[in-house]
Amino acid sequence: MEKQIAISYPETLAFSLKMKKREFEREIKAISLVKLYELGKVSSGIAGKILGISRLEFLKLLSLYGVSYFSSEDLESDAANA
């Protein structure tokens, strides 16, 4: 079962970002899932599925927002084992 979230925003916001309404809505959805991934709340596979892209495409998307696909735990573990 799917649920929807409605977000109110002024029409001028999408316009000021030079985006069409649909493009802006996709961007907000992607940004939300990138942040949830960054916080460790969703996996890359789930985020990709929700966005309708592959896990690999989602991992590539992370770089557009400056988010690493390595967690701080991964980096600490690698440093300890080096």
Tens digits of per-residue pLDDT, 35-82?
Answer: 999 999 999 999 999 999 999 999 999 999 999 886 655 445 555 666
Cβ neighbourhood burial of 37 (10 Å; 0-12, 13-18, 19+): buried
The predicted structure's pLDDT at residue 1: 83
